[in-house]
Structure 1
Amino acid sequence: MRLEQYTQPFASSFYKKYLGDAASLSSFFHYDWNQKALNHRINETNFSKHKRTELVENVTNYMNQFGISETAHKHLNELEDNGVVIIGGQQAGLLTGPMYSIHKAISVIVLAKQQREILGVPVIPVFWIAGEDHDIDEINHVYIERGRKLQKATYPSATKVKKIASASVLEKDLMESYLEEVFKSLPETLYTKKIYEKVTNLLRDYHTYSDFFAALMNILFEEEGLLLIDAAYTPFRKLESEYFQVMIKNSAELARLVFEKEAEYVGNGYGTPIQAKEAAANLFFVEDGERFLLERQDHLFVHEAQGISFTEEEMLEIAKNHPEKLSNNVVTRPLMQEMVFPVLSFIGGPGEIAYWGTLKSAFELFNMKMPVIMPRLSITVVNAKTQSLLDKFSFSVEDVWDGTVDAVKLQYINEHRNENIPELLKSIKNDLVLKYEELSNLLHTEDIKLDPLINKNLNNHEKQLKFIEHAIEDIFLGKLDASINRYDRIMLELAPNGSLQERIYSPLQLCNEVGPSFIQELLQVPYEFNGKHHVVFI
């Protein structure tokens, strides 16, 4: 494998600022994202306040259902003693979701290994699964290739009720049919059958989005000892009970601080990543797998549409005795993560880093500092076929992202186009318009009023000309198809749907092509946490 590094493509103005000049954003973050900051973080933070025994018991019990490797056992023992964690998380996407879910896990693992060596203390990789998320439309699909285009293949759920991911069941028959459709879209390789059997076998034991996701992640990263925890795991909620109570008591102040900090964001031109409200309770109430966002209204915690209403005392009672009925939102999840885990660094993507910056005052409210927010590794994989095409046309990977490849493709098409054809069609259309106008004027002199019929007739002629024009274009492009396809193939591989590869493709496609060991091979690349986009040639 060969590694090249590039400036981040498609980055927002805020993310570019964070990558290039994080020090200028010190009013939004407690630390920069360099080694000096990591050193400072570990030296000044009191990591003894965490309930390590209860935490390790929760993670162990959760992971037992998937299998705990020898390395994971070692990490659990270290976590119970004095270890610190590198943590990142993601929604429980089907087949792990887009590749950036894998890149987050790789980031967590790689940074933990690097810091273990540099700091000389146990640094443990942890992946937080957002099983409490109820936006199923974001996780119920993968993109597959149909007719040389990428289309969304969505799991056809039999229910329209949006439960949290950890309570949303994947029906075995539907899921088997769905997986069959997905795998049929892949080219048959030496690895296809083995991967298909391994994935479908998981359906026997794992029935929700979260469990299916966790089982796959555990298979992919068990050798690395990656620790997994589902945010919606009921025993884990009990560990969070006292922290829910603290958040409830400080709910009004928390909402005010976040609202004001986001107003600072707006003033600096960074938008509203959270869209904070002063009346927000920043907690969900969960019932029968559905969750309802609460707001504060007249000293009550309410969800008007569902007729839900609690006093503060009732909320505290729920937090104490039924914490599984509460769920964090975008504001309280980072706070809860810090309260529960001894976090050295949080691995975040562009969107996450943007909203974390609105939480500095929120952390301070609870006498905490946010951890070092490390940008996750951003990776594009270039296979041998794509590399060959890049070489053939003398394109760089950046040419794909900046529109050069599309421009060259269009130039190639236009160079082979007979411009006399569209000019003649245009001339025919103009002549028709003039002749019909002449006819209309002549009829008016005879007091014959047929304008609607004339216009309809002209419109029919124009439709027929447009039909001919499209037919000519289809045949013309068909003659150039082999050459055009080479340009399209480069774009499809490296900028699918006009986005980064990691945001569209599932790891399934690459594992099918390279083999099940592909993820382990990716882990061997000498990555740098430098804010660059890493391009790996395989």
Structure 2
Amino acid sequence: MKLIIRGGKIVRLEQHTQPFAPLFYKKYLEDTSSLSSFFHYEWNQKALNKRLQETDFSKTKRTELVNVLTNYMSKFGLSETSNKHLEELKDNGVVVIGGQQAGILTGPMYSIHKAISVIALAKQQREQLGVPVIPVFWIAGEDHDIDEINHVYIERSRKLQKLVYPEKSKIKKIASDSIFDKQIMDNYLTEIFQSLPETLYTKELFTKVMNHLENNFTYTDFFAALMNDFFQEEGLLLIDAAYEPFRKLESEYFQLFVENASDLAEVVFEKEREFEKAGFGTPIQTKESAAHLFYVEAGERFLLERKDGMFIHEAKGLSFTKDELMSIAEKHPEKLSNNVVTRPIMQEMVFPVLSFIGGPGEIAYWGTLKTAFELFRMKMPVIMPRLSVTVVNTKTQTLLEKFSFTIEDVWNGIVEDTKLQYINKHRNERIPQLIETMKQDLAANYAKLEELLIDDNLLLSPLVQKNLRYHESQLTFIEHAIDDTFLGKLDASIHRYDRILMELTPNGGLQERIYSPLQLLNEVGTDFIKELLEIPYEFNGNHHVVYI
């Protein structure tokens, strides 16, 4: 436990072993050296030093890259620190980079944690290595699975509810081309804010969000505007993967992907088989026929495969020769888009990457790409696990202390078990037992009735069974009514347990994977993210718990 100053206030910081960690991520955190067949570096200071010393960053098109970044970010506003970082990047700076899909209201809180991770590691390495290290956030605007980003979770009637942006599209456009109906989005955001408790900060937060909506009508622009608002003073550089000038910068790299498509598919397929044999599953589920590129048409993405020397998408009726796709890569790179395999490689080609910040799922699929990087005569960067954070507000702290629970008790199911024990302790077990006996007696008597009717050749079995089901349903109805009334009597006490669980393990997982920052900003103020940046985080694979 550590006491720290945040926003002029003393708060408590704890570190714990990563809860809910998937098998491969747990292995990566605890024993990276055993995974050397999947990565070029471990994730420590020695590896970062080595990465800087042995990597040739001279091939980066620095001037062109900085021009693209400057033009993209100018819409959202460039701070003094952002401009400084752009100048450093043009010269000899290296980057710490991470990214995320463009969720509404920034998506889950771990989007914020990724940005904080990128900024914090860049600051630490700037001091440690003595060179400019610049934080960059790659927005996955080319993603087209809108269902993953079109919602937020809110609390209503003491239950967690997924509130989905209601406008539906007949086609799945990429996030950067998915334009909101401003009035529908306005109403949607208003509904979200109306579900929040009114605080000193609600009006200011609502105004901030709605102001950004005024000029940003796509998922990606709205996301970028908010992220820039939160992090521009830190000089976080943003780029949308689908930004057309960025695509043009990537032209020669798309040509490399087309030229080497067969070899790339082969090495990734073999590496994923090795990954699977090691017991870690198939995070990419790649095919030997994969092209690892999408073709973009009217904002839709179509994944290409290789067949009989052609690049095709059968359902759409797309078919290109290698020369045709090479020509598209050269003259119209905006018509191409990376997939899960080529995006990390493209990132390495475009940016001078010291370290990539990744979450559990990302690190797993990066583990299948070592030979893919080698195919293009590159090494993977140092892959640093992102910071994972749970924030415990004062009300939840009070409840934890009242019941003598720790945060680990919540993660380990002890709180849920204690809640069930409390309910069972107060339940009169004779009532459900009696109802069950009544059901059994009822069934037995109806069976006897049916036998007698059959003996008298009275064919009424369907009517008997229907009547039995009716009476059984009535007993079930009264059983549920008794249970609801019983739980209602215990409601105040049960709610305390539910409050802890909903705050700290919503939907049975980590808080950061469900809640957007909206709830916290509404509760403690719009400067809360800046205050989170003041915390001296350690990149050690632990989960950070901040008590505010």
**CA distance in structure 2 between the partners assigned to 1:191 and 1:215 by the alignment:** 20
Name the CA distance, whole Å, in 1 between partners of 2:153 and 2:365. 27
1:365 aligns with one of 368, 375, 378: 375
Equivalent in the alignment of 1:412: 422
Check if 1:204 corresponds to 2:209: no
Give the SS at the match of 1:438.
helix
Which residue number in structure 1 is paired with residue 472 of structure 2?
Answer: 462
- Does residue 333 (structure 1) correspond to residue 346 (structure 2)? The answer is no
Corresponding letter in the other structure for 2:144: H
Out of 202, 208, 220, the residue aligned to residue 230 of structure 2 is: 220
1:26 to 17, 36, 39: 36
Name the structure 1 match of 2:79.
69
User: Whole-Å Cα distance in 2 between the matches of residues 326 and 448 of structure 1?
Assistant: 74
Normalising by structure 2, we get a TM-score of 0.97
Shift of 1:430: 2.0
Please show how residues 374-389 of structure 1 align to structure 2 within 5 Å: 374-389=384-399
Deviations 1:193-221 (A, max 9, x none): 11111111112211111100000000000
1:264 equivalent in alignment to 2:264: no
Matches of residues 7-156 of structure 1 in structure 2 within 5 Å?
7-156=17-166
Q: 1:276 maps to what in 2? A: 286
Partners of 1:508 and 1:160 lie apart in 2 by 30
* Unaligned 5+ runs, structure 2: 1-10
1:497 and 2:507 are equivalent in the alignment:
yes
What's the CA shift for 1:444? Answer: 3.3
Task: State yes or no: 1:512 paired with 2:514.
Answer: no
Rounded to whole Å, the distance in 1 between the matches of 2:370 and 2:438 is 67
% identical equivalent positions:
72
2:533 matched residue in structure 1: 523
- Residue 58 of structure 2 aligns to a residue in which SS? helix
C-alpha distance in 2 between matches for 1:119 and 1:515: 35
Q: Work out the CA distance in 2 between the residues paired with 1:439 and 1:237.
A: 78
C-alpha separation in 1, matches of 2:309 and 2:356: 34
Q: Structure 1 segments of 4 or more deviating over 3 A?
A: none
**Structure-2 residue corresponding to 1:477:** 487
Can you list the C-alpha shifts for 1:252-304, whole angstroms capped at 9, x where unaligned? Answer: 00000000000001111111100111111101111111111111111111111
Once residues 399 and 62 of structure 2 are traced to their aligned partners in structure 1, the CA distance between those partners, rounded to angstroms, is 53
Matched, 1:346 2:356: yes
Query: d(CA) in 1 for partners of 2:445 and 2:139?
Result: 69
1:439 shift after superposition: 2.1
Alpha-carbon deviation of 1:390? 0.4
| Aligned residue type for 2:438 | I
Give distance in 2, aligned partners of 1:18 and 1:177. 44
| Aligned counterparts of 2:460 and 2:310: Cα–Cα separation in 1 | 70
Equivalents in 1 of 2:449, 2:251: separation in Å? 84
Instruction: Name the residue aligned to 1:194.
Output: 204
For 2:155 and 2:16, how far apart are their aligned partners in 1? 27
Name the amino acid aligned to 1:66. F
Provide the C-alpha distance between the structure 1 equivalents of 2:253 and 2:232, rounded to a whole number of angstroms. 31
Write the distance in 1 (CA, Å) between the matches of 2:301 and 2:458. Answer: 69
Deviation at 1:445, TM superposition (A): 3.3
What is the distance in 2 between the residues matched to 1:149 and 1:335? 42
Structure 2 distance, partners of 1:435, 1:275, is 57
Equivalent residue number for residue 3 of structure 2 = none
Post-superposition shift, 1:460? 1.0
Matched residue SS, 2:199: coil
Q: Distance in 2 between matches of 1:524 and 1:338?
A: 29
* C-alpha distance in structure 1 between counterparts of 2:301 and 2:536, whole Å: 42
Compute the displacement of 1:149 (Å): 1.1
Q: Deviations over 1:154-190 (max 9, x none)?
A: 1112422111111000110010000011101111101
How far off its partner does 1:14 sit? Answer: 0.6
The residue matched to 1:309 in structure 2 has which SS? strand
Deviation of 1:35 (Å): 0.5
Deviation at 1:7, TM superposition (A): 1.0
One-letter code aligned to 1:246: L
> For residue 439 of structure 1, what is the amino acid of its counterpart?
L
Q: Which residue of 1 aligns with 2:310?
A: 300
Instruction: Find out whether 1:231 has 2:248 as its counterpart.
Output: no
1:353-383 deviation per Cα after TM superposition (whole angstroms, max 9, x unaligned)? 0000100000000000000000000100000
Aligned partner of 1:441 in structure 2 is 451
**One-letter amino acid of the structure 1 residue matched with residue 512 of structure 2:** E
**Quick one: distance in 1 between partners of 2:441 and 2:315?**
62
